[in-house]
Structure 1
Amino acid sequence: MSRTLTIPVSDLVVDTRNPRLVEPDKSQRDALRDLAASQGKKLVALAEDAIGYGLNPSELPIVMRTKDQRYAVLEGNRRLTALRALENPDLLVDAVQPSVLAKFKALSGEYLKNPVESVLCWVVDNRKEANHWIELRHTGENKGAGIVRWERALARTDHRGQAG
């Protein structure tokens, strides 16, 4: 049965069957490097946001217990990759552009002063239980069932301090 659980970042692993990976079932290191390579500057932006604001509490990672008692991140692999790169930028050597690596090295010191040590996650028993939510997250508005983007006028409105 699914539930929320606060999990140490050290117990989270990239889903090696993540659709963003060209080749599934890679090692953790290779999966992280491939995700970082495919995301490049977007991963830097995510890392900067995590340092400034923490992880988005409105988007819980979806995880599943692994055979070795860790948790595979079914939804949220970019976030985990950003955290791993902030913890150890050398993981990215020869995987990302030099400018991206330099940015992670610069950000790492700041991140390590106050690292994300644990993450509130949504734990599922199997992939099937997560599929609906992952598809809604990544396939657009879905007639209103998915994430509906704000119209331009709304997006430009200063909504800080307003609820809803």
Structure 2
Amino acid sequence: MQQIEFIPLEKLKLDNKNPRLPSNFNNKSENDIIEWMLEDESIIELMLAIGQHDFFVGEALLVVKNGDGFTVVEGNRRLTSLKLLSNPSLATIRVNKVKQVLEETTKRPKSIPCIVFDSKEQIMQYLGYRHVTGIKSWSVASKAKYLYSLLPTLKSEGIKSQSIELAKKIGSKSNYVKKLLVGYKVYEIIKDNNFYKIPQLNETTFHFNYIPPLYSIQI
């Protein structure tokens, strides 16, 4: 069983392949990710909670070694909040709200509880259960993007066999996994066609939930 390690905040890096991020963020900088995260009001609330009560060891970040630092695979919202508490100048939006949080809080965690894994693949099953099947659910789009990203790691071929294999790994039903995989493939086609130039339709406004389960599409 992995033990909790306390890692300096400056050695922790945001994951630009986080399934919750837009797909065009794969090569974005940490500052870009922080700005995107800050658009969500809950980051301010999370900053306030950590700044008032400190960082709870039971919410340890899940990380993998990356050069001389660590990439946070699970816990990017918490890491964003920690970075903003430590360095509020990182905020390019909601600047006044970030400043207000700093004025109202005193805790500035510098050594962060983490669980270190050898690879992202080792975290896969836990993340799948926690966010796709379990109590801390991602959006439908994030679930589908995450599962689709795992296809290259599977031994089986074909949508049916892959759905069964993934379902076993995360403790879900294969039909549900299949719907997510096929739905994401449909979404990719729509995105590749520039959302068919429909006004105001883009990656952030598209409602993934409305994609029908088109099982005939090959992945």
TM exceeding 0.5: yes
Deviation (angstroms), 1:75: 0.4
Alpha-carbon distance change, 148 to 19 in structure 1, aligned in 2, over 3 angstroms: closer
Identity of aligned residues (%): 29
| Alpha-carbon separation, structure 2, partners of 1:2 and 1:114 | 27
Higher helix share: 2
| Alpha-carbon separation, structure 2, partners of 1:26 and 1:147 | 30
State the SS of the aligned residue for 1:58: helix
Q: What corresponds to 2:78 in structure 1?
A: 79
Query: How many residues end up aligned between the 2 structures?
Result: 135
Q: What corresponds to 1:147 in structure 2?
A: 135
- The match for 1:134 among 127, 132, 135 is 127
Greater RCO, CA 8 A, separation 6+: 1
The CA RMSD measured in Å over matched residues stands at: 2.2
Alpha-carbon distance change, 63 to 148 in structure 1, aligned in 2, over 3 angstroms: closer
State the SS of the aligned residue for 1:147: coil
Indicate yes or no: 2:97 matched with 1:103. Answer: yes
Unaligned runs of 5+ in 1: 150-164
| Alpha-carbon separation, structure 2, partners of 1:31 and 1:148 | 21
Rg comparison, structure with higher value? 2
Q: Where does 1:53-68 land on structure 2 (aligned, <5 Å)?
A: 53-67=53-67
Deviation string, structure 1 residues 127-156 (Cα, Å, up to 9, x no partner): 1001122222222xx3xxx2389xxxxxxx
**TM-score, length of structure 2 as denominator length:** 0.56
Alpha-carbon distance change, 148 to 120 in structure 1, aligned in 2, over 3 angstroms: closer
Is the CA contact (8 Å cut-off) linking 1:64 and 1:72 kept in structure 2?
yes
Deviation string, structure 1 residues 93-120 (Cα, Å, up to 9, x no partner): 2xx3xxx321211222454x43101111
